[in-house]
Chain A
Amino acid sequence: MASASHRPAPPRATAFWRDPRVRALFAQALVLGLVLLGAAYLVRNTLLNLERLGVSSGFGFLNTTAGFDISQTLIAYDRTYSYGRAFIVGLLNTFYVAAVGILLATVIGFVMGIARLSSNWLVAKVAAAYIEIVRNVPLLLQLIMWYVVVLGGLPAPRNSLALGESVFLNVRGLFIPRPQFEEGFGWVVAAFLASVVAVVVLARWARRRFEATGQPFPVFWTSLGVLFGLPALAFLLAGQPLSFEYPVLGRFRITGGMVMLPEFMAMVLGLSVYTGAFIAEIVRGGILAISKGQWEAAYALGLSRGQALRLIIVPQALRVIIPPQTSQYLNLTKNSSLGVAIGYPDFFNVAGTINNQTGQAVEVIAITMAVYLTLSLLISAFMNWYNARMALVER
Chain B
Amino acid sequence: MRLLGTVVAATMAAATGLAAGSALAGPTFDAVREKGFVQCGVNSSGLPGFATVDDQGNWSGFDIDLCRAIAVAVFGDRNAVKFTPLTAKERFTALQSGEIDVLVRNTTWTLTRDTALGLDFLGVNYYDGQGFMVPKSLGVKSALELDGASVCVQTGTTTELNLADFFRANNMSYEPVVFETNDELLPAFQAGRCDVFTTDQSGLYATRTKFENPDDYVILPEVISKEPLGPVVRHGDNEWGDVVRWTLFAMIEAEEYGVTSENVDELRANSTNPTIRRLLGVEGEFGKNLGLPQDWAYQIIKQIGNYGEVFERNLGMNTPLKIARGLNDLWTRGGLQYSMPFR
Q: Does the CB pair A148–B116 fall under 8 Å?
A: no
* B contact face: mostly helix, strand, loop, or mixed: mixed
Q: Does the CB pair B187–A361 fall under 8 Å?
A: no
Is A331 in the interface zone, CB < 8 Å from B? Answer: no
B residues in contact with A67, CB < 8 Å: 161, 164-165
Is B149 in the interface zone, CB < 8 Å from A? Answer: yes
Distance from A139 Cβ to chain B, minimum over Cβ atoms (Å): 16
Is B235 in the interface zone, CB < 8 Å from A? Answer: yes
Inter-chain residue pair count (beta carbon < 8 A): 122
A residues in contact with B147, CB < 8 Å: 251
Interface size class of B (residues with CB under 8 A): 35 or more
Q: Does the CB pair B193–A171 fall under 8 Å?
A: yes
Q: Which residue of A lies closest to B88 (CB)?
A: A356
B173-230 interface with A by 8 A CB criterion: 174-180, 184-185, 187-188, 191-193, 195
- What total of chain A residues lie within 8 Å of the partner, measured CB to CB? 42
Give Cα A394–Cα B12 distance, bound, in whole angstroms: 93
Q: Does the CB pair B191–A152 fall under 8 Å?
A: yes
Distance from B227 Cβ to chain A, minimum over Cβ atoms (Å): 16
B residues in contact with A156, CB < 8 Å: 192
Is A352 in the interface zone, CB < 8 Å from B? Answer: yes
Distance from B27 Cβ to chain A, minimum over Cβ atoms (Å): 10
Give Cα A263–Cα B116 distance, bound, in whole angstroms: 33
Is A8 in the interface zone, CB < 8 Å from B? Answer: no
Q: Does the CB pair B148–A255 fall under 8 Å?
A: yes
Known: A79-B165, A359-B96. A353 touches B149 (CB 8 A): no
A residues in contact with B235, CB < 8 Å: 53-55
Is B82 in the interface zone, CB < 8 Å from A? Answer: no
B residues in contact with A171, CB < 8 Å: 191-193
Give Cα A71–Cα B164 distance, bound, in whole angstroms: 12
Q: Does the CB pair A53–B168 fall under 8 Å?
A: no
Q: Does the CB pair A71–B176 fall under 8 Å?
A: yes
B residues in contact with A251, CB < 8 Å: 147-148
Is A69 in the interface zone, CB < 8 Å from B? Answer: yes
B residues in contact with A80, CB < 8 Å: 168
Q: Which residue of A lies closest to B175 (CB)?
A: A71
Q: Does the CB pair B176–A70 fall under 8 Å?
A: yes
Q: Does the CB pair A71–B178 fall under 8 Å?
A: yes
Distance from A59 Cβ to chain B, minimum over Cβ atoms (Å): 14
Is A68 in the interface zone, CB < 8 Å from B? Answer: yes
19 pairs, CB–CB < 8 Å, chain A vs chain B: A53-B118, A54-B118, A71-B176, A78-B168, A79-B168, A80-B168, A151-B188, A252-B149, A252-B150, A253-B149, A263-B177, A342-B184, A343-B179, A345-B178, A352-B180, A353-B89, A356-B88, A358-B117, A359-B116
Residues of B near any A CB (own CB < 8 A): 88-89, 92-93, 96, 112-113, 115-118, 138, 146-150, 155-156, 160-161, 163-165, 168, 174-180, 184-185, 187-188, 191-193, 195, 234-236
| Contacts A71-B177, A349-B155, A356-B155 known; 16 new A-B pairs at CB < 8 A | A53-B235, A55-B118, A56-B118, A67-B164, A69-B164, A71-B176, A79-B168, A171-B192, A251-B148, A252-B195, A349-B180, A352-B180, A353-B156, A355-B89, A361-B93, A361-B96
Residues of A near any B CB (own CB < 8 A): 50, 52-56, 67-71, 78-80, 147-148, 151-152, 156, 171-172, 250-253, 255, 262-263, 340-343, 345, 349, 352-353, 355-359, 361
